[in-house]
């Protein structure tokens, strides 16, 4: 949308002031029709799907009827069934109330001493549950993958029961992240060796204790032997040994183990970090119990603004897999930038067939902030995750329009002017590519500031850090070239992909330019498809990203007559910050990379 188009739209906007809003109602502002007919049909598939005809909702289960009510609010007609069995939020919430990579306040579940009972936050947790159920989410992991052993002590298990009781009517099962070393850390067994009989007995007893209180408990999520977390390697055992021990404890109750493949630095020192998951897991394919699911991030590195898909989805053919997506914007402006993530996830599903997966998990962006997600538009990512978990064939545009009409429309879910919906939908759909352009275009990656990952630091290097944590490791720029050679002549990361992508990525001439510097080391003078040199193309992308954010801010100015004052003002402030930050990214990166050319 150009500025002239935006000005024209200004004249067709309504000029009335909307009533006060603070974002706390999310997309649940629409009025539910009162004349709905609900019908149970036992012949329908037993998967909580629904069928809508007019205002009649038919389903096999009560949950199907509930899902159907919210689908009717979205304007759906016809029959719909969930694609994935497991549609789970992962909360990286700590027991002290903080949230790792959380940008919307403290945990809705946990808090510092004196810790309130979850019942004291019952209304808030209930509202959370309704929001999740409205988009089909059916599970939630209540605590950080960097789990405290205290999570499995009686005081916290009893709190989990209270939360489970609130979530259950909404069809949401609870899961827990567990610290693999818990038996030893809690001083109840001298080891955490998964083949030790006493350790296996401990986990079976603990699991029985949980299910006695929470009969529909879902299972465990485990991060093991990565970033200092304990795991089976500590005892000379494999991931399969560790996962299977937990799976055996859960099996009698129908529980699952979600074993994360985000591992690096444990066994493969010096190996290209993006190869390490496949290196550790491929040889174990077929050795896991049938209630073990391997949970892998969408890309092979770490939730970067753009990554190629993770090749572990190609390699594990006998092991059930889940994709892990990051809803919270750790590397995408941390709820200060407007970045709609559905286009990135849609891109992922263009490479990884949903049929290869049994579910998807999303690292949640939810906290105690009044608007739940920090940025009003970050709510769209929570919504989009749920919708794609139900139906991964939905387009980013479909989901954006649904969310906008329910979030910024009137009580009946209607926008006051269709032009508003059109222009903001365009903004949403352009926002992810804009972020990639002003942060790390053309396959650049992981050039963030250390630890907190907010802002650029392409020159980042610390001698006391592992090199694979340093930004310079990921671009290796010098006066001649830039990028990482992951082709067959380099680290051969391309060899982990299935065809046709193995050959496509391996050849610099056929590698998509959006992944160019991810897979190839490229001279600054290399001619791009545009005819420009690589250096000129990099500059063009950075400038384009900044210009896009400027246009977003301009467009938002034009929406003021029809957006309630508080939400409009708060989004406007965030966009002003995003404009400054986009310039900081562009100017810092171009100055740094340009210094290699000027030094000749």
Give the ranges where 140-196 is alpha helix by DSSP (H).
Answer: 154-167, 182-185
Across 395-524, the runs of DSSP E, i.e. the strands, are 481-482, 522-523
Angle formed by the axes of helices 534-558 and 3-12, to 10°? 10
Q: What are phi and psi of 117, to 5 degrees?
A: -65, 140
Alpha-carbon distance 270 to 92, whole Å? 29
Which alpha helices (DSSP H) does 475-598 contain, by range? 501-506, 516-519, 534-558, 565-598
How far apart CA 341 and CA 362 sit, in angstroms, is 12
What contacts 232, CB < 8 A, 6 or more positions away? 180, 193, 194, 224, 225, 238, 239, 241, 242
Pick from 133, 142, 130, 166: which is nearest to 91 by CA?
142
| Residues 6+ positions from 320 with CB-CB distance below 8 Å | 290, 292, 293, 294, 358
CA-CA distance, 472 to 468, in Å (whole number)?
Answer: 9
Q: What are residue 361's DSSP bridge partners?
A: 88, 324
- CA dist 383 and 406 (Å) reads 11
Nearest to 411 by CA among 124, 101, 25: 25
Residue ranges of the alpha helices (H) in 299-374? Answer: 312-315, 342-349
The residues annotated as belonging to the active site are 227, 302, 330
Q: Which is nearest to 298 in space by CA: 327, 270, 256?
A: 327
Give the three-class secondary structure for 523.
strand
Q: Whole-angstrom Cα distance, residue 520 to residue 56?
A: 56
Number of Cβ atoms within 10 Å of the Cβ of 139? 24
Q: For residue 561, how far is the Cα from the chain centroid? A: 33
Q: Is 282 helix (H, G, I), strand (E, B) or coil?
A: helix
Cα 28 to its chain centre, rounded Å, is 22
Q: How many CB atoms lie within 10 A of CB 274?
A: 26
Q: CA 568 to CA 551: how far, in whole Å?
A: 16
Answer whether 192's CB lies under 8 Å from 224's CB: no
Which two structure tokens, joined as six digits, stand for 587? 């100017």
């Amino acid at each position: 949308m150009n500025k002239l188009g935006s000005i024209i739209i200004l004249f067709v906007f309504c000029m009335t002031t909307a009533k006060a809003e603070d974002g706390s109602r999310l997309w649940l502002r629409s009025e539910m029709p009162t004349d709905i007919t609900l019908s149970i049909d036992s012949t329908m598939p037993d998967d909580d799907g629904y069928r809508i005809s007019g205002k009649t909702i038919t389903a096999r289960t009560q949950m199907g009827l509930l899902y159907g009510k919210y689908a009717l609010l979205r304007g759906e007609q016809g029959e719909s069934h969930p694609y994935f069995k497991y549609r789970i939020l992962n909360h990286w919430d700590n027991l002290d109330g903080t949230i790792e990579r959380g940008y919307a306040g403290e945990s809705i579940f946990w808090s510092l001493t004196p810790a309130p009972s979850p019942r004291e936050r019952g209304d808030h947790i209930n509202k959370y549950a309704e929001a999740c159920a409205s988009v089909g989410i059916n599970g939630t992991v209540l605590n950080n993958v960097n789990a405290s052993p205290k999570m499995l002590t009686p005081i916290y298990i009893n709190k989990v029961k209270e939360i489970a009781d609130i979530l259950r009517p909404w069809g949401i099962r609870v899961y827990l992240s567990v610290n693999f070393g818990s038996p030893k850390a809690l001083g109840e067994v001298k080891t955490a060796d998964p083949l030790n009989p006493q350790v296996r007995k401990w986990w079976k007893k603990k699991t029985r204790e949980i299910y006695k209180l929470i009969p529909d408990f879902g299972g465990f999520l485990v991060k093991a032997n990565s970033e200092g977390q304990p795991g089976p390697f500590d005892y000379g055992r494999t991931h399969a040994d560790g996962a299977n021990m937990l799976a055996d404890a859960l099996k009698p109750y129908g529980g699952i183990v979600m074993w994360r493949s985000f591992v690096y630095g444990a066994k493969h020192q010096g190996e290209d970090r993006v190869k390490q998951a496949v290196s550790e897991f491929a040889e174990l394919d077929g050795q896991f119990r049938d209630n073990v699911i391997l949970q892998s991030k969408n890309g092979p590195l770490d939730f970067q603004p753009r990554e190629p898909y993770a090749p572990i989805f190609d390699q594990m053919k006998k092991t059930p897999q889940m994709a892990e997506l990051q809803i919270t914007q750790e590397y995408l402006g941390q709820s200060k930038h407007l970045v709609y993530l559905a286009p990135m996830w849609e891109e992922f599903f263009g490479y990884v067939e949903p049929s290869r997966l049994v579910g998807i998990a999303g690292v949640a962006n939810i906290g105690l902030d009044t608007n739940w997600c920090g940025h009003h538009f970050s709510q769209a990512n929570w919504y989009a995750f749920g919708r794609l978990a139900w139906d991964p064939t939905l387009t980013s545009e479909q989901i954006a329009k649904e969310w906008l009409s329910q979030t910024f429309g009137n009580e009946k879910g209607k926008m006051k002017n269709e032009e508003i919906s059109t222009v903001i939908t365009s903004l949403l759909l352009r926002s992810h590519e804009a972020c990639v352009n002003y942060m790390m275009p053309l396959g650049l990656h992981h050039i963030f500031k250390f630890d907190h990952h907010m802002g650029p630091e392409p020159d980042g290097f610390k001698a006391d850090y592992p090199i694979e944590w340093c930004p310079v490791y990921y671009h290796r720029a010098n006066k001649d070239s830039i990028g990482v050679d992951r082709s067959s002549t380099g680290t051969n990361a391309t060899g982990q992909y299935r065809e046709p992508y193995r050959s496509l990525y391996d050849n610099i001439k056929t590698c998509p330019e959006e992944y160019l510097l991810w897979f190839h080391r490229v001279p600054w003078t290399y001619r791009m498809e545009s005819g420009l040199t690589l250096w000129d193309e990099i500059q063009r992308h950075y400038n384009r990203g900044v210009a896009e954010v400027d246009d977003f801010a301009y467009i938002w100015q034009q929406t003021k007559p029809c957006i309630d004052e508080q939400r409009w003002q708060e989004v406007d402030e965030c966009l002003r910050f995003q404009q400054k930050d986009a310039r900081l990214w562009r100017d810092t990166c171009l100055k740094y990379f340009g210094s290699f050319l000027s030094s000749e």
